[in-house]
Amino acid sequence: MTVGPDDPRYADLRIKGVNTRFTVDPERFHLVGSTDQVVGLVQDAVRAGKRITVRGGGHSCENFVGDGAQVVIDLSEFHDVSFDRRRNAFVVEAGATLREVFKTLYLGWGVTVPGGQCGEVGVGGHFAGGGYGPQSREFGSVVDYLHAVEVVVVNRYGRARPVFASREENPDLWWAHTGAGGGNFGVVTRYWLRDPNARGTDPAHLLPRPPGTILGSPMLWGWGDVDQAAFMRILRNYGTFFERHSEPGDRFASLFSVLLAPRKVAAADPGGFLISAELDGTLPNADALLKEFQSEITDGVPTPLIPPPERTPWLTNALKSGINGESGRYKQKSAYLRRRFTDEQAEITYRHLAERPAPAGAQEAPMLWLLSYGGAVNTVRPDATAMPQRDSILKAIFLTTWDGRGGDSDGIRRVREYYRDMYASTGGVPVPDDANDGCYINYPDIDTTDPAWNTSGVPWHTLYFKDNYPRLQRIKATWDPRNVFHHALSIRPPR
């Protein structure tokens, strides 16, 4: 189906992205339902010299889909998930959302992939960029299960065609889809998933089987009860815990935790922050593990509110957790942590979040997310997939959201300054070193290309891809020699 500006549906499609800072205003949207259609559309656009972009779930943090697009191929109506007997792997059409993948894989076969927390995220961008979530410490990244991919590419003569790529067939193109991010090499139409170590043909044993029950309970603190010293201690306890418990196979491997600290508000109720915790509820010592985690985090700090732990069936938990359906104007930055934040970084965080409370009703609200990581993710070699960060223990998200009534500049400035201060000793960005390991391409941040905000002298692509970048550039030259598919953080053709 083709939708142009005169069609009433155009208005819905142009604002579909989750970051409402951006709209997508092409000459035409094409909602596709087959690989053949994608081939035809890409061919027509290349012949006409039109700029093509691709949209899956619309969850990009940056304007990669809207930027200069004349033709947008929207895959959201191409979303079937099934088992492909011929290839002995699950096949996911590239417009599916995580919600559809989790539901179909689990209800059909009792299996899953360790994807993200938000059910509305599309596999189109998520899988190609790496993909991680609550099950990652136990099972790794989504791309560790990427068996094959079908991509519509354009050759040097401008001819569009579908290509199948796996470890055996076109292995470079397959590898490029294990962490380089979407919008780089062509239009992905299908992903196949299977555990590379699985044997046999029973689908119920070809992907990880998540625990039937999740046990969880958050810890909640009010900003009014926590001074700077206590906040720094909480951050230190949290980071130390994950320094000690992120080895593959650790007894806390099934633990997924998020520290979510929004900015304090200057009002009678200044708000608060939380640390969530959920783990495999079928473990015989699940309750004891949860208690042990909570007591390590709360050691020497004001007592938080801890609701009684709840047991939730796995799928229900997977579909309810996260930030489903949320959208708004925001700016986001990321970091991989090999070690906990230093006390200086904890102090800086307190300063940005709590020392100057936002006036009540303030538009822009910087916040910190720390997400548990490591475990099985770190069993894979940095060059085995395109995603090289394979020894971190936490991921950090630095985020500001606002409603836009006062414009965007304050919101963007606040998160820029917070991030710059956090990484002041390495040029304003988390340059790979003993403590940090760069940034996550699924949380893209175009400021990493801007010498005003990245003063490290380390190029943006080293932050995201490290030593894997030259190989990605060679693959780009082979599979997208005309650079048809590009955006602000896409792989550049080699010079």
Ligand X SMILES: Cc1cc2nc3c(=O)[nH]c(=O)nc-3n(C[C@H](O)[C@H](O)[C@H](O)COP(=O)(O)OP(=O)(O)OC[C@H]3O[C@@H](n4cnc5c(N)ncnc54)[C@H](O)[C@@H]3O)c2cc1C
User: What is the contact surface with ligand X in residues (CB under 6 A)?
Assistant: 18, 53-61, 64-65, 75, 94, 116-118, 121-122, 124-126, 129, 131-133, 182-183, 187-188, 323, 326, 442, 487
Place of tokens 């499609």: 13
CA 261 to chain centre: 19
Q: Based on CB atoms, which residue is closest to ligand X, 61 or 297?
A: 61
CB 46, CB 186: distance < 8 Å: no
Q: Based on CB atoms, which residue is closest to ligand X, 18 or 290?
A: 18
Q: Based on CB atoms, which residue is closest to ligand X, 53 or 345?
A: 53
Query: Nearest distance from residue 67's CB to ligand X, in Å?
Result: 9
Q: Based on CB atoms, which residue is closest to ligand X, 223 or 314?
A: 314
Backbone angles phi, psi at 82, to 5 degrees: -155, 180
For the chain, the residue count is 495
Rounded Cα distance between 485 and 253, Å, is 38
Query: Nearest distance from residue 492's CB to ligand X, in Å?
Result: 15
Among left, alpha and beta (phi > 0; psi -120 to 50; other), residue 297 is: alpha
* Strands 28-31 and 2-3, sheet pairing: antiparallel
Tokens of 54: 């691709």
Query: Nearest distance from residue 36's CB to ligand X, in Å?
Result: 15
Q: Based on CB atoms, which residue is closest to ligand X, 277 or 346?
A: 277
Query: What would you measure as the largest C-alpha separation in the chain, in angstroms?
Result: 66
CA 225 to chain centre: 32
Query: Nearest distance from residue 242's CB to ligand X, in Å?
Result: 17
> Which residue number is nearest to ligand X in terms of Cβ?
182
Listed residue (400, 424, 419) closest to 410, CA to CA: 400
| Single-letter amino acid code for the residue at 155 | N
329 - beta bridge partners?
Answer: 402
216 - beta bridge partners?
Answer: 278, 310
Backbone angles phi, psi at 345, to 5 degrees: -65, -35
Q: Based on CB atoms, which residue is closest to ligand X, 131 or 272?
A: 131
Query: Nearest distance from residue 138's CB to ligand X, in Å?
Result: 15
Q: Based on CB atoms, which residue is closest to ligand X, 124 or 281?
A: 124
Rounded Cα distance between 438 and 465, Å, is 8
CB 459, CB 478: distance < 8 Å: no
For 270-283, give one letter per residue: b (16+ CB within 10 A) or e.
Answer: bbbbbbbbbbbbeb
Q: Based on CB atoms, which residue is closest to ligand X, 61 or 111?
A: 61
Q: Based on CB atoms, which residue is closest to ligand X, 163 or 283?
A: 163
Query: Nearest distance from residue 49's CB to ligand X, in Å?
Result: 19
Coil, helix or strand at residue 365 = strand
Query: Nearest distance from residue 489's CB to ligand X, in Å?
Result: 9
Q: Based on CB atoms, which residue is closest to ligand X, 130 or 304?
A: 130
Tokens of 87: 């290839």
Query: Nearest distance from residue 78's CB to ligand X, in Å?
Result: 9
Sheet hosting strand 52-55, strand order edge to edge = 2-3, 28-31, 71-74, 52-55
CA 360 to chain centre: 31
Rounded Cα distance between 319 and 488, Å, is 32
Q: Based on CB atoms, which residue is closest to ligand X, 38 or 265?
A: 38
Alpha-carbon separation of residue 415 from 279, 291, 401, 419 (angstroms) = 31, 34, 9, 6
Alpha-carbon separation of residue 196 from 102, 143, 160, 178, 192 (angstroms) = 19, 11, 30, 13, 11
Query: Nearest distance from residue 198's CB to ligand X, in Å?
Result: 23
Q: Based on CB atoms, which residue is closest to ligand X, 122 or 203?
A: 122
81 - beta bridge partners?
Answer: 92
Query: Nearest distance from residue 378's CB to ligand X, in Å?
Result: 16
Query: Nearest distance from residue 93's CB to ligand X, in Å?
Result: 9
Query: Nearest distance from residue 142's CB to ligand X, in Å?
Result: 8
Rounded Cα distance between 399 and 259, Å, is 13
